[in-house]
Amino acid sequence: MPVVASGYRRWEGVRRGRAWRWLVLARAGVRLTGRSRWLFRFILMAWLPLLYYGVAFFVVGQLTEQRTIDAARGMWQFDVLRGMFGTPLAERFIEDPAGHRPAIWSALIYMFLHYTQIFCVMIVVALVGPRLVSEDLRSRALTLYLARPITRLDYIVGKLAVVCFWVGTVTLLPALALYALSIAFSPSVEALTHTIAVVPRVTLVSLALMVGTGAPMLALSAVFPNPRLLAFLWAGAWLMSSVASRVLGLALFPGTREGDWTGLVSVSANFDAIAFRVFDIDGLLRPAAEVSPRLLRTLERFTPGHDPLWSVALLLAVAALSLAVVAVRVGRPGEASAR
Amino acid sequence: MSGQAGAMLAVAELELRRMLGGPRPWVLGALALGVAALGFVVRRFAPAPDDPAAWGFLYVLLLMFLFLQTLGILVPLLHTSGLVRDDLEEGTLVYLFTRPLPKPLVFLAKLLAAGGLSAAILAAGMLAFHVAFALGAGASPSGAGVTTHLLPFVAAGALGVAGYGALFAFVGLLTRRGLVLGIVYGFVSELVLANIPAVVRQLTLMHYLRSVALSRVADGLSSEEEVRELLGVLDLVPAGQAALTVLVVAGVAVLASLVAVSRIEFAGEQQVEGD
Amino acid sequence: MSGPVIEARGLSKWYGAVIGLNDVTCEVGPGITGLLGPNGAGKSTFLRLVSGQLRPSAGEVRVLGATPWNAPEALGRIGFCPDEDAFWDGLSGLEFVTALGRVSGLPRARARERAAEVLEQVGMKEHMGRRIRGYSKGMRQRTKLAQALVHDPALLVLDEPLTGADPVGRRELRALIQRLAAAGKHVIVSSHVLHEVEALTSTVLLIARGRVLAAGQVQELRALLDEHPHRIAIRCDRARELARTVVAMPHVVGVDVEASAVHLRTTDPAAFYAAIPGALLEVGATLEELASEDDDLSALFQYLVRR
């Protein structure tokens, strides 16, 4: 009769590879943070702007289906497009939809990210981030984590992935869904080949938002144990930096964007600057803007006063510094939890 | 002092000690000083305008953007959205709610303490800004512009604390996510909707606070029209009416809170509304 | 006063779909009463209802003749000591108790005087000027007890007051609670440890799964324990021979044998304990250990729940 050893039994199954251990933490974190009803409600709300932009893409799709330019010009959809981009670009679009599709597509998805989704990122990160590290430090769960074959790096990557996941649900996913919608509204597959560059652009901007917000939030969570104060600091930093940037811009560079570096002060303006460059908004819209004063004014309002590369450098520096702060705090779990 | 008044004072003192302990005052102090420093930088380095009266516009603009529209919402939000929840989460609420002081009075004492502190922080921040702005001009601070610019803004700030504080305290009673909801409300209603003309703007508190803040600005500046145009605020209401509107909103929110606090059970694991 | 200190009639409390307390009808008399029950039994819910923190979902509870929910006057006669280890840590023990004395309606000077008195009473005189942040667990428990006493209530409601205290601290806290009762206070104290409550009082209320299982004297509970077969473990050599002997005893109703242990059930523990030395001598076994496997609350609860 076989005798079964009832003592400690070592795990003899297949272990997950080293490189994927962070995924366990990430999954657990996503599951835990995902229990919040408020988060769920807010993400639903964050997808609402999709309706507006979906209509815009529908309008654009309808116009390209017309056989003659005059037929298109007579449609109400044409008036909507004129309202959005001004008459010259709308005219050019119905004359040559294929040639102007990348500009219209990129501009719409850029605006989608610029107007509503960046604000949603701030709120989503404020909802999921504050307890990510502080709770582990407070409850001494960190000691348990690090007693397993999990390194500090695994821990940090796992936690960062939680923020990235939720940021993705209000940036990458809806933007890709919007793109899929735009393709669905297009009469030909040609649209896909013309505008496929939108996908890597959306991904890149979403990635910048994920890392650029996730890393500082983890650092704040590792330093401040009070989630309410942390959420306040987070929102305060976004709003105050945005207001400070606007005030400095108005006062120090009145009536000009030339040499205006004040956007660097603002969290959201930095992300905007990166998105502006990644989507190549200036390159795509400038030709039409040259003949449309209204579009030119809008374009200049969006054009960052500083080189977006400075924003990228700033984002990388802040992210690196933040992750270093987390690494230091996580490296001394006993000290942190005793506080 | 009657027993209940003394008890409320004790609750208020506990609340103040709680708010002034930990990193919170440092964060708020840093914010207020940062804003004051911004005033100095702007006044010191901004190119001189053709009309010297434009410095007054800038001063008003900064008070409006930095204090009334930003700190004026954030400070009461921080202090009042967790008025009961903070104690509940820290486990100290039980000490207050098992005493012979009615729960609505406990809440009211906490609200008054939090509101008083918020108003004081805003007023101190505005004063620091006033001094920094004067120093930025290379002059020593004077009383110029205090009655026409600074004081109306201080009054609007205090009214804002009353209005927003009461609203955020009420929301904080109903949900654990009072702070985040307050941020969303502050941004959507008080910063976005407040800038939409006509009826929409009249539904926001900010419209009435601006009316109070700008009520005397024309007395100190050469062109009232220019100020109003600059700020995009063209349909201000009389200051008295505006103040009354804010106070009525605050009063209704406080009354709703008092009813809620006497009905909600703040103990146990599951009866408190989760997130 | 005459009549019960606490009186519950059909008292229920549910949290959404979860029942915390289920149709409880009971009375708590003067003196010290132990509220016994395993973790999650509903003890804290009962005490929170008694101290006016919760509103009954059904039924009613009266404390010293009044319903405590939203009744400040009734709360003035109750002193509640929570089980959470929570304080405004930045305060000293004296400041903490003084503040809560003032919240209870005492004037500032009187509150300070009274706080010093009760802190001395709980043995915190030397430490009351220090910040609570630096207190040991036992000191924190005493401070919590002091705040419950500061307004001189008639009834003390103590939720697990001995948890976390060291053995010496427990003994001192027990002595203190007994002194308070001797001075005329009514005390209801919760615990999940039978012998801890037994050392405090002979009157207990047993609660499990949100229901009152038994109320009365500890001796009566002991008798209830004696009514159902006791499980006893004997570690010795010659276990098989011993088993053969004990199984012949009329009050032994079941026996399991291991290589060096006998587990048995008896309906008359006293008779068994009287007979076991003879049985050991008879088979020539050397006794290593004799232990009751039943002498804990969980066995009693299981038994009462089955009844």
Look at residue C117 in the predicted model and tell me its pLDDT: 95
Look at residue A337 in the predicted model and tell me its pLDDT: 42
Look at residue B227 in the predicted model and tell me its pLDDT: 64
Look at residue C165 in the predicted model and tell me its pLDDT: 76
pLDDT tens digits along C171-186: 888 999 999 999 999 9
Beta strands (DSSP E) in B46-148 are none
Q: How far is CA A112 from CA A177, A305, B194, in A?
A: 12, 21, 22
Give the range with max mean pLDDT: B159-163, B222-226, C254-258.
B159-163
Distance of CA B108 to the CA centre of its chain: 17
List chain C residues with CB under 8 Å of B11: 103
List chain B residues with CB under 8 Å of C72: 99-102
What angle separates helix B54-62 from helix B224-231, to the nearest 10 degrees? 40
CB B14 within 8 A of CB B111: no
Residue C102 has its nearest CB partner, among B6, B97, B98, at: B6
Look at residue C194 in the predicted model and tell me its pLDDT: 75
CA distance, residue A32 to nearest chain B CA (Å):
12
List chain C residues with CB under 8 Å of B103: 70
Look at residue C226 in the predicted model and tell me its pLDDT: 65
Residue type at position A60: V
* CATH 3.40.50.300 boundaries in chain C: 6-215
First to last CA, chain A: 56
List chain C residues with CB under 8 Å of B113: none
Q: Which two tokens stand for residue A291?
A: 């003949």
Mean of per-residue pLDDT scores for chain C? 88
pLDDT tens digits along C44-76: 999 999 999 999 999 999 999 999 999 999 999
Look at residue A338 in the predicted model and tell me its pLDDT: 40
pLDDT > 70? residue A3: no
B147 close contact with C: CB closer than 8 A: no
Least confident window among B84-98, B192-206, C63-77: B192-206
pLDDT tens digits along A173-201: 999 999 998 888 877 777 788 889 999 99
CA distance, residue C40 to nearest chain B CA (Å):
11
The whole-number average pLDDT for the span C235-249 is 92
Contacting chains of B (3 CB pairs or more, <8 Å) are: A, C
In chain B, % of residues over pLDDT 70: 89
Q: Which long-range contacts (CB under 8 A, 24 or more apart) does C133-142 make?
A: C133/C89, C133/C90, C135/C93, C137/C85, C137/C164, C137/C165, C137/C166, C137/C169, C138/C164, C138/C165, C138/C166, C138/C169, C138/C173, C139/C93, C140/C85, C140/C87, C141/C165, C141/C169, C141/C173, C142/C173, C142/C176
pLDDT band of A222, cuts 50, 70, 90: very high
In chain A, % of residues over pLDDT 70: 94
CB C50 within 8 A of CB C7: no
Q: Give B258 or C172, the one with higher predicted confidence.
A: B258
* CATH 3.30.70.100 boundaries in chain C: 228-306
- Type and span of the H or E element at C49: helix C43-50
Q: Do A235 and B183 touch (CB under 8 A)?
A: yes
In this structure, the number of other CB atoms found within 10 A of the CB of residue B147 comes to 12
pLDDT band of A83, cuts 50, 70, 90: confident
Look at residue B56 in the predicted model and tell me its pLDDT: 81
pLDDT tens digits along B134-144: 898 887 777 67
Contacting chains of C (3 CB pairs or more, <8 Å) are: B
Look at residue C71 in the predicted model and tell me its pLDDT: 93
Q: Do B271 and C54 touch (CB under 8 A)?
A: yes
Residue A251 has its nearest CB partner, among B27, B42, B181, at: B42
Look at residue C75 in the predicted model and tell me its pLDDT: 94
pLDDT tens digits along B217-244: 766 665 666 666 656 666 788 899 999 9
Residue in chain A nearest B80 by alpha carbon: A228
Look at residue A66 in the predicted model and tell me its pLDDT: 65
Q: How far is CA B89 from CA A144, A228, B93, B257, in A?
A: 24, 11, 8, 19
pLDDT > 90? residue A284: no
pLDDT tens digits along C177-219: 999 999 999 999 998 877 788 888 888 898 988 898 888 887 7
Q: Count Cβ atoms within 10 A of the Cβ of residue B268 and give its class: 0-12 exposed, 13-18 middle, 19 or more buried.
A: middle
Least confident window among A79-88, B100-109, C11-20, C59-68: A79-88
Q: Do B262 and C70 touch (CB under 8 A)?
A: yes
CATH topology of domain C228-306: Alpha-Beta Plaits (3.30.70)
Residue B46 has its nearest CB partner, among A239, A244, A252, at: A252
Look at residue A5 in the predicted model and tell me its pLDDT: 58
Look at residue C218 in the predicted model and tell me its pLDDT: 74
Look at residue B270 in the predicted model and tell me its pLDDT: 41
B118 close contact with A: CB closer than 8 A: no
What is the ipTM for the molecules in this complex?
0.85
Look at residue B271 in the predicted model and tell me its pLDDT: 40
In chain A, % of residues over pLDDT 90: 42
Mean of per-residue pLDDT scores for chain A? 86
At residue A42's C-alpha, the angle toward residues A36 and A43, to 5°, is 95
List chain B residues with CB under 8 Å of C88: 14, 17-18, 21, 92
pLDDT > 60? residue A282: yes
Look at residue C8 in the predicted model and tell me its pLDDT: 94
Pick from A232, A234, A238 the residue to mutate for testing the B interface (most B CBs within 10 Å): A232
Torsion of CA B92, B98, B102, B105, to 10 degrees: -20
Least confident window among A14-23, A290-299, B226-235, C50-59: B226-235
Q: Residues for chain A: how many in total? A: 339
3+ Cβ–Cβ pairs closer than 8 Å linking A and C: no
pLDDT > 60? residue A1: no
B221 close contact with A: CB closer than 8 A: no
Least confident window among A231-245, B104-118, C96-110: A231-245
pLDDT > 70? residue C222: no
CA atoms within 13 A on the CB side of C109: 1
Look at residue C186 in the predicted model and tell me its pLDDT: 95
Look at residue B275 in the predicted model and tell me its pLDDT: 39
Q: Give B233 or B202, the one with higher predicted confidence.
A: B202
B262 close contact with C: CB closer than 8 A: yes
Look at residue B236 in the predicted model and tell me its pLDDT: 82
Residues in chain A whose beta carbon is closer than 8 A to a beta carbon of chain B?
A: 36-38, 119, 123, 126-127, 224, 226, 228-229, 231-233, 235-236, 239-240, 243-244, 246-248, 250-252, 254
Residue in chain B nearest C157 by alpha carbon: B98
CA distance, residue B54 to nearest chain A CA (Å):
11
Q: Do A252 and B27 touch (CB under 8 A)?
A: no
pLDDT > 60? residue A336: no
Interchain CB contacts (distance < 8 Å): B and C: 103
Q: Do B1 and C70 touch (CB under 8 A)?
A: no
Q: What CATH number does the domain located at C6-215 have?
A: 3.40.50.300
Interface of C with B in 7-36 (CB under 8 A): 15-16, 18, 20
